[in-house]
Structure 1
Amino acid sequence: MRITKSFSVRSRVSFFKAMSSAVLLWFTTLSMVAAHEVLPSIADMEEVDGRLVFDVQANLESFVAGIDLTETEDTNEAPEATTYDELRALEPAVLEERFRAFWPQMAAGLTVNADGVPLAVELESVAVGSVGNVDVVRDSEFTFSAALPEGARNVQVGWDKAFGVLVIRQMGVDAPYDGYLEAGAQSDMIALSGGGQPTGWQSFLRYIPVGFDHIVPKGLDHILFVLGLFFLAARMRPLIVQVSLFTLAHTITLALAALGYVNISGAIVEPLIAASIVFVAVENVFTRGISPWRPFVIFGFGLLHGLGFASVLGEFGLPDGTFVPALIGFNVGVEVGQLAVIAVMFLCVWQALRVDRGENEVGQGFALYAVLLVAAGALIALNPAGLAEALESPVWLFAAPLAAVFVLCMMSIQFRDQLEAYRRFVAIPCSLAIAVVGAYWFVERVFL
C-alpha cells in the first residue's frame, strides 16, 4: 500500500511549478545553438600540369577568427564569436585581404605528402561571396596548389583539426577517391591515377558515424522531436509505432532529395520542422496515447525531417560511385542516433516509471537519482562559466536539462500517491519545455 504524504496540495503545486519552470528554462537554452552551425569544408583535388590543385569551398571567416571547429558545434559558442560576426559583415575585398594575411598560418596546418615527401603549398586565388544575411554562411572559395615531384604516384592529404571537417573529392580520374576527414585525420594514400574509390561496404561503414554525428550532438531539433515522441507514453507499443512511422517517412524523403527528385528550400523546411516539435510536444499534454490522427501527422513530419537530413548531405555530397551504400550508411547512422537518444532518456526515467507502476523500489529510486544528480552537477562544476558562457556551453546545455529531469523524476517518486505521477511531474513538464524550444525556433527561423 502506498503511504499518503503530509505535504499540502498547495505545497505540491508550488513545488511542481518551480521545478517545471526550472526544466523549461534549461531546455530553452538549447534554442541558443540553433543558428551558425559549423559545416564541413569541401576540397576538390586534381592533378594539373604537374601540380596538385585544390579548390576549397569553406567558411573563411571561421579560419581567420581562429575558431577551433573541432571543438565548436556552433560559432555562437566560440570565444571568438564577436570577431567572427565582425568578419561576416566585411566586404569581399576586405575579407579576401584578411584571409591572405592569415594564409601562412593556415598553410602551416596543411599536410600534403607525395610518396611520403612533404610538399610546400601555395595560395593561388581567393573568391569571397558578397555580404548577405550574416546569419547564413557565405559562399567563399580559395585555391591552393603544390608542385608534384616527378614520377609521384600517391598523395596523402589532411589539415589541422582546428579547421574542422574536410571532405576530399578527387577529380579528373576514373574511380576517384572520396573521403570525409574529421578531427585532423589524414586521408588514405590516394593514387594520382585514380582507382582509389571506396568500395560500397567501405562507404556504408564510413557514413554511419556521419549520420550519427548529425543527430548526436548536432541535430538538436531532431533530438527534441524524438523526445517529443518518447514523452507521449514511455511504453513499447506506442513508441515503436511512432518511431517506425517517423523512420519510414524520413527515409523516403532523404533518398528522394539526395537523388535530386525533391528540392525544397530550407527556409520552408526548417520552420516546419520547428512547428512539428511544438505539435508533438503540445499534444503530449492533452492526450495519453496515440490519437487517431497522430500516426498520419508523424509520418508527414517525418517527410519534413528527411528533407532536413538531405540538406546536411547536400553540404558535402555523397560519392557518385558508391552513392547508394553511402546513403544507406548515413541513414543507419541517423537511426542509431535516434535510438541512442531514446535509450538514454529511457534509462534516465526508468526508475521513476517503475515506481509509478507500483514497483516497491522507492528508496532505490531516490538513491539512483541522487547519484545521477551529483554526477550531472559534477560535470557542470568542472566546466565553470559565467551565465552567458554557461548558456552556450555544450556541457551545460546537456547536463543541466538532464539534472532537471532527474529532479522531476525524484518528484514523481516523492508524490507517487498521486494519480499518474510520472506523467504529471515528468512527461508533461518535459513536453512543455520541448514545445517552448520548438516555438522559439519557429519564430527565429521565420522572423529573426
Structure 2
Amino acid sequence: MLQAVNTCSLRSIMLRYFFIISLLWFLLSPIADADVVKPALIEITANTNETVTIEVRASIEALLTGINSQYKNTQDAPQTMAAAYDTLRELPPDALRAEFAGFEQRFLQAITLQADDTTIPLSLSNVAIPPRGYTKVPRISVLTLTGKLPRYHQQLQWYYPQVFGENVVRVRQVDEATEAWHWSEHQWIRKDEASKPFVLDQLFTKTPFWQVVGSYIIIGFEHIIPMGLDHILFIIGIFLLSLRWQPLLAQVTMFTVAHTITLGLAMAGVINLPAAIVEPLIALSIAYIAIENMFSNQLAKHRLILVFVLGLLHGVGFAGALSDFGMPQDAFINGLISLNIGV
C-alpha cells in the first residue's frame, strides 16, 4: 500500500515538472520564425577529360552570417547573426549574389580538394540562387566549382571547414568501358576534418552490410542527442502516462511504427513538409501530451491513435536534416531500420 502511494506521489511530482517544461517549450519555441540549419551537400564529379566539377548545395545566407551546424535552427544563433540571416533571406537572387561576391575568395581559400598529394586549384564557375520564395524555409543555392585533375590520379579527398557547418560529400566516377556513372557512398563529416579518401582506381561498389548498419545507427543516435530535445520530451511524456511497462510498450510501439513510416517516405522524397509547419506542431504535441497526462493515467484507445498520429509527425521531423542526401540506394531498408535503432 505504502509503495503504491509513493509511486503515485512520484508520478504526480514528475507530471508537474514535465507539464511546466513542456508548456515553456511550446510557448518559447521560436521555430515558427526560424530556418533549420542543414549540412551542405557536396557532389564531386571526376570527368574523363581529367577535369573535376563540384556542386556545393548550401545556404548562402548561412555561409555569410556564420550560422553553422552547431545551431539546430537560425533563431538559436546569437541575435545579431539571426537578424542578419533574416535580412539576407529576404533578398532577391541578384542582390544575394552581390552580397556573396565579397565572400567568394574566402570560400575558395577555405575549401580543399586533393588528388593524391596534389591540391587542386578551384574556381567558381556558377552560382545558382533560387527565387526568394517562402522565406520561412531555407533557400538552398548551388555553387559550381571546377578544376583540373592531374593525370593518373588514384584518389580524391575533400575538406570543407567546420566553420561553414557540417557537410555530406560523395564522388561520381565513370566506367569508361560502359560509359555508366557510379556514385560513392555519402560521407557525413561533422568535425573539422577532411573526408576519407575516395579511391578512383576501381569502381565504387556496394557498401558492406555491417558498415551501413553501424553508420546509420550512429547518425540516428546523434540526431537525437544532443539536438533532439523535442523528441526526447515527447518520449518522456509517453512514459509519464503510467509507470507500468505495458502502457509504455504499447505507446512506444505505436510511435516507432508511425515515425518509421514517415521517416522512410521523407527519406525517399515522397513527402516534404517545411520545418515552419512541422516544428511548431511537434512542440504542440509535447504540450498536449503533458496536459493529457495531468488528467489521466489510463491507456485508452484514443491515446494510442493519438500517439500514432503524432509519431507520423515526428518522423517527418526526424528526416529534416537527413532527407537531402537520402539512404543508400542499394540498402535502403537496412539504412532505415538502423537509423530507427539509433533514434
Give the TM-score category using the shorter length: 0.7 to 0.9
- 1:126 matched residue in structure 2: 127
Equivalents in 1 of 2:311, 2:320: separation in Å?
Answer: 14
Q: Is the 1:70–1:183 contact (alpha carbons within 8 Å) kept by the matching residues of 2?
A: no
Q: Is the 2:25–2:283 contact (alpha carbons within 8 Å) kept by the matching residues of 1?
A: no
Q: Percent identity?
A: 37
Equivalents in 2 of 1:108, 1:309: separation in Å?
Answer: 34
Q: Is the 1:245–1:302 contact (alpha carbons within 8 Å) kept by the matching residues of 2?
A: yes
Q: Is the 2:39–2:69 contact (alpha carbons within 8 Å) kept by the matching residues of 1?
A: no
Match of 2:237 among 221, 228, 251: 228
Amino acid at match of 1:158: Y
Alignment of 1:8-157 (within 5 A): 23=21, 26-28=24-26, 31-33=29-31, 35-48=34-47, 49-67=49-67, 69-79=68-78, 80-157=81-158
Equivalents in 1 of 2:195, 2:21: separation in Å?
Answer: 44
Q: Is the 2:26–2:287 contact (alpha carbons within 8 Å) kept by the matching residues of 1?
A: no
Equivalents in 1 of 2:124, 2:57: separation in Å?
Answer: 14
Amino acid at match of 2:53: V
Equivalents in 2 of 1:319, 1:127: separation in Å?
Answer: 27
The one-character-per-residue Cα deviations of 1:87-114 (angstroms, maximum 9, x if unpaired) are 1122211211222320111122212111
Counterpart secondary structure, 1:170: strand
Equivalents in 2 of 1:63, 1:269: separation in Å?
Answer: 24
TM-superposed CA distance for 1:272, in Å, is 4.9
User: CA 1:151–1:293 in 2, change beyond 3 Å: closer, same or farther?
Assistant: same
TM-superposed CA distance for 1:316, in Å, is 2.3
User: CA 1:70–1:254 in 2, change beyond 3 Å: closer, same or farther?
Assistant: closer
Equivalents in 2 of 1:272, 1:19: separation in Å?
Answer: 21
Amino acid at match of 1:51: T
Q: Is the 2:60–2:141 contact (alpha carbons within 8 Å) kept by the matching residues of 1?
A: yes
Q: Is the 2:18–2:237 contact (alpha carbons within 8 Å) kept by the matching residues of 1?
A: no
TM-superposed CA distance for 1:256, in Å, is 4.1
Q: Is the 1:273–1:304 contact (alpha carbons within 8 Å) kept by the matching residues of 2?
A: yes
Equivalents in 2 of 1:141, 1:189: separation in Å?
Answer: 24
Equivalents in 1 of 2:277, 2:102: separation in Å?
Answer: 39
- 1:255 matched to 2:264: yes
Q: Is the 1:201–1:325 contact (alpha carbons within 8 Å) kept by the matching residues of 2?
A: no
Counterpart secondary structure, 1:313: coil
Q: Tell me the matched-pair count.
A: 317
Q: Is the 1:178–1:197 contact (alpha carbons within 8 Å) kept by the matching residues of 2?
A: no
Equivalents in 1 of 2:117, 2:186: separation in Å?
Answer: 20
Equivalents in 2 of 1:229, 1:43: separation in Å?
Answer: 39
Counterpart secondary structure, 1:293: helix
User: CA 1:100–1:228 in 2, change beyond 3 Å: closer, same or farther?
Assistant: same
Amino acid at match of 1:128: I
Amino acid at match of 1:249: A
- 2:288 matched residue in structure 1: 279
Alignment of 1:289-328 (within 5 A): 289-328=298-337
> Which structure has the larger Rg?
1
TM-superposed CA distance for 1:45, in Å, is 1.0
Alignment of 1:399-414 (within 5 A): none
User: CA 1:317–1:149 in 2, change beyond 3 Å: closer, same or farther?
Assistant: same
Q: CA RMSD in A?
A: 2.9
- 2:192 matched residue in structure 1: 184
Amino acid at match of 2:309: G
Equivalents in 2 of 1:269, 1:29: separation in Å?
Answer: 16
User: CA 1:26–1:304 in 2, change beyond 3 Å: closer, same or farther?
Assistant: closer
Q: Is the 2:26–2:283 contact (alpha carbons within 8 Å) kept by the matching residues of 1?
A: no
Instruction: Identify which range, 51-60 or 297-306, moves more after superposition.
Output: 297-306
Alignment of 1:207-226 (within 5 A): 207-226=216-235
Equivalents in 1 of 2:20, 2:65: separation in Å?
Answer: 35
Q: Is the 2:259–2:315 contact (alpha carbons within 8 Å) kept by the matching residues of 1?
A: yes
TM-superposed CA distance for 1:24, in Å, is 6.7
Q: Which runs of 5+ in 2 are unaligned?
A: 3-15, 174-180
Q: Counting strand residues as a fraction of each chain, which structure ranks higher?
A: 2
TM-superposed CA distance for 1:26, in Å, is 5.0
Q: Is the 2:219–2:339 contact (alpha carbons within 8 Å) kept by the matching residues of 1?
A: yes
User: CA 1:198–1:187 in 2, change beyond 3 Å: closer, same or farther?
Assistant: farther
Dislocated runs of 4+, deviation >6 Å: 18-22
Q: Counting helix residues as a fraction of each chain, which structure ranks higher?
A: 1
Counterpart secondary structure, 1:134: coil
- TM (norm. structure 1) is 0.64
Q: Is the 2:120–2:147 contact (alpha carbons within 8 Å) kept by the matching residues of 1?
A: yes
Amino acid at match of 2:29: S
The one-character-per-residue Cα deviations of 1:293-326 (angstroms, maximum 9, x if unpaired) are 2122212322332233344432222222332322
